[in-house]
Structure 1
Amino acid sequence: MKLKLYQIDAFTDKVFGGNPAAVCPLQQWLPDSLMQKIGMENNLAETAFIVPENGRYAIRWFTPTIEVDLCGHATLASAYVLFHYEGHAGDEILFHSPRSGPLKATRKGALLTLDFPTDVYEPVALTPELTDGLSIRPREAFKGKTDFMLVFDSEEQVRNVQPDFQKIATLPGRGVIVTAKGDAVDFVSRFFAPQSGVNEDPVTGSAHTTLTPYWAAQLGKTTLTARQLSARQGELQCRLVGNRVEIGGFAKPYLVGEIDVEEK
């Protein structure tokens, strides 16, 4: 069975930047086990699978090891594929995730913007389990639906954090966001998710559903600029709109191809 496969660098205006995602358009769902194997074979942070469904697109995301509830960069990449390669008409795409509900992507020129639900997070104690996996102690900690968010005093601290992935992998949840007020942008972050098969994610759109409402409250503004400080780096434009977050960025194609898979 031959399937189309695209690889798109998301949240960047140049190839080899941002976060690479694989996108596999389907007419109907494959067995879960086969989609997980494709995600493992691609060995990217996420592979997105999209299926047309009643005027919208159902979407699911797989890391090399698990299916996840929400993924921003692979949704941005999926929107790029639909707009540029799969003949989607207009400037708006409606997605639906079985795990996260309705999602939307729009384009204005080259800029793609996601419309995601905000995360709900609560403060938690700075326990040794949370802090022992990091070389620098954070100022405060929060727990959202799937991730921990640890706040630091400066961009320099976030940049210099040395994660112990073995210790972080023992935390209950998808991963750990580390963040601080930015020097040249409103806020910066990094994201570690060894428990989900991704030690450090280059750019994590879904983490900005937690980051955006937090920093909007801290900075007293609803439109914010963000940078993820991974080796590849990524730039995001974020806006808090009630209980939704708009997450904007650019994307660049890297690979257009075909895979040949067979489930034994």
Structure 2
Amino acid sequence: MTTPSAPFTIATVFSSNPFGGNPAAIIFLDVDTVSFDVLRGIARNFNQPMAVFVKPIEPLKPGQTTIHTSVRFITVAGNEVELCGHGSMAAAKALLSFPGVAGAGITDIQLQTKTRGIVRVNVVAGGLLEMVLPVGLTRPVSSEEEQRVASTVNRAFGREVKIKHIAPGGEGFEHACLIEIDESEDLQGSKVNTAVFGEAGYPFGLNTVTSNVSLKTSELNEQFVSRMFSPEVPGGEDSVCGSAHCLLVPYWYKQKGLERGKESVAKQPVVHRISWSDTTSRNPSSLNSSLAFTEPPLSLMATLKLNWSHGQHSEVYDLWSWSSDAVDRVVRTTKRLRANLYEALAGPNADGEPDQPLLLKIARGPQALADLKHEAKIYTKDLLPLQGVVVPKFYGLYETRIKGIPFGCALLEDCNTGLSKPLLDPREVNTQVMLAICKIHQAGISHNDLLTSRHHIVVQDRGVRIIDFTNATRHVCTNAVPTLYHSLPRGFFCEELVGMEKAFGVHSDPASIPQAILAAKKCWG
């Protein structure tokens, strides 16, 4: 008998840090085929604040730009909720990273909820994700509710809090309550006993405490700050709650007289862009919530099945990654080049033989893994625009523990793959090397090993690649161009660029270029 299985991943939303933001498990499973008890059990086993069950999609058609599928949200406590903002973002990112969808040009994700209509997530400029949520309105509070909420807030904060307004949610948000407190209360810096909101008889399961932001305390001109407390969330507080903004945004837009459609900034606790517009969706009253991060808006866990061949033996290891560009893969090593470097073939993490040539750089032990993580950060942050131009493409950093020892591997472009006509003109080699290193310095990076070894330069028919940034450092370069004016005081010129100019510049001796480079020999460091 075959045990039923379903693809899944874990994502952290509203953050580029895998240990920040708001995590969720995304399980690709047709919920119509299983009972709710099974779904609840799966959600509890994942032990994430939210489990999002996404109905698997059909293969994409040529030219398709929209995906429509259904979702359901179940908390770690086993309760189903009608709407979850961070769960919707996580589901959209998982769909965009799914084999056959990644890189296919999808720009619109439509998630059909069980009772709250469609949540739309769009891919916008810069690779950010923009989520459109329904607006939630508030209703007048009864005197009994007002007393109970005020008493609960005071006990939770451990002091008498200056409460300015209490507003329970209206239709569709009956479980929620918005509480505005005075900005002098230091909402973000306050210690809160979240267990108080879970006491028997308290009527609201989602409690959003919010306050105005003064010019003195504003970091990025945010209009308001908020925190959300709920007994349904592990620890009692949701670090970033998308659905809470269904009440927050229309409330503050009205309170502050903000222009409809004009983008504003909010903080809970990370900063994100929000706007309330009548034209952003088919729903005339919609909340358009767009996240403002210069880095990818969420980190998605990916897995790597590594088939490590050595001699007539092979071993299989399972690794994981939080690299923003990493995807599920299976990799098989084919040839050892150096102690820490292998030629390999990669493919999607599914049935079939891997066929994409790449290089596998490994690290064993805490220090070696730390060095590899440093190099990966250089590739994915500072040198991201230069990948595939003057540095190799970077396909992700994966890690695990083997016999208790930290182990990691980076997947990189094999720059010599498909080499048809090596660049042999010495002067052109020099020119390409200088152009490459200047671009790297313009990106704010000093390689630091180029003057000690030529094994960090690979020549190919498309130009050159600078490789191995293990010892690279961030660097503010004067002009980011070489100079030979050695009479200038130290600090008025870049020593690495001056050294490179001596070796590869217009006055260098072409005959000094190693024959290994001219022959485009693989010389990874």
- Do the structures match in fold with TM over 0.5? yes
Does residue 82 (structure 1) correspond to residue 98 (structure 2)? The answer is no
Q: Which amino acid aligns with 1:225?
A: V
Question: Structure 1 pair 252/197, CA: closer, same or farther in 2 (3 Å)?
Answer: closer
1: distance between equivalents of 2:74 and 2:123?
Answer: 25
Deviations 1:67-120, CA, capped at 9 Å, x for gaps: 111100010011001111254441101111112111111012321111111012
1: distance between equivalents of 2:42 and 2:112?
Answer: 21
Question: Structure 1 pair 226/5, CA: closer, same or farther in 2 (3 Å)?
Answer: same
Report what 1:224 is aligned to: 264
Matches within 5 A, 1:195-214: 195=232, 199-214=236-251
Q: Which runs of 5+ in 1 are unaligned?
A: 259-264
What secondary structure is seen at the aligned counterpart in 1 of 2:182? coil
Does residue 62 (structure 1) correspond to residue 78 (structure 2)? The answer is no
2: distance between equivalents of 1:212 and 1:86?
Answer: 36
Residues 120 and 131 in structure 2, CA contact (< 8 A), matched pair in contact too: yes
2: distance between equivalents of 1:21 and 1:155?
Answer: 34
What secondary structure is seen at the aligned counterpart in 2 of 1:132? helix
What secondary structure is seen at the aligned counterpart in 2 of 1:103? strand
Does residue 105 (structure 1) correspond to residue 114 (structure 2)? The answer is no
- How many residue pairs get aligned? The number is 254
Q: Which amino acid aligns with 2:289?
A: I
What secondary structure is seen at the aligned counterpart in 2 of 1:194? coil
Report what 1:31 is aligned to: 35
1: distance between equivalents of 2:50 and 2:127?
Answer: 22
Question: Structure 1 pair 217/133, CA: closer, same or farther in 2 (3 Å)?
Answer: same
Residues 12 and 252 in structure 1, CA contact (< 8 A), matched pair in contact too: yes
Matches within 5 A, 1:17-166: 17-29=20-32, 30-52=34-56, 56-65=68-77, 66-88=79-101, 89=104, 90-108=106-124, 109-124=126-141, 125=143, 127-134=146-153, 135=157, 136-144=161-169, 145=173, 146-154=175-183, 156-166=185-195
What secondary structure is seen at the aligned counterpart in 2 of 1:60? strand
What secondary structure is seen at the aligned counterpart in 2 of 1:2? coil
User: TM-score, with normalisation over the residues of structure 1?
Assistant: 0.87
Question: Structure 1 pair 198/122, CA: closer, same or farther in 2 (3 Å)?
Answer: farther
* CA displacement at 1:210 relative to structure 2: 0.6
Task: Judging by fraction of residues, say which structure has more strand.
Answer: 1
* CA displacement at 1:53 relative to structure 2: 7.0
Does residue 236 (structure 1) correspond to residue 272 (structure 2)? The answer is yes
Give me the CA root mean square deviation: 2.3
What secondary structure is seen at the aligned counterpart in 2 of 1:203? coil
- Higher relative contact order, chain-length normalized (CA < 8 Å, sep 6+): 1
What secondary structure is seen at the aligned counterpart in 2 of 1:3? coil
1: distance between equivalents of 2:82 and 2:233?
Answer: 11
Percent of aligned positions with the same letter in both sequences?
A: 24
2: distance between equivalents of 1:6 and 1:137?
Answer: 43
1: distance between equivalents of 2:57 and 2:98?
Answer: 18
Q: Which amino acid aligns with 2:135?
A: T
* CA displacement at 1:204 relative to structure 2: 0.2
Residues 73 and 204 in structure 1, CA contact (< 8 A), matched pair in contact too: yes
1: distance between equivalents of 2:234 and 2:19?
Answer: 21
Q: Which amino acid aligns with 1:203?
A: V
Question: Structure 1 pair 147/14, CA: closer, same or farther in 2 (3 Å)?
Answer: same
Residues 114 and 248 in structure 1, CA contact (< 8 A), matched pair in contact too: yes
Q: Which runs of 5+ in 2 are unaligned?
A: 59-66, 279-284, 292-296, 304-319, 321-327, 329-525
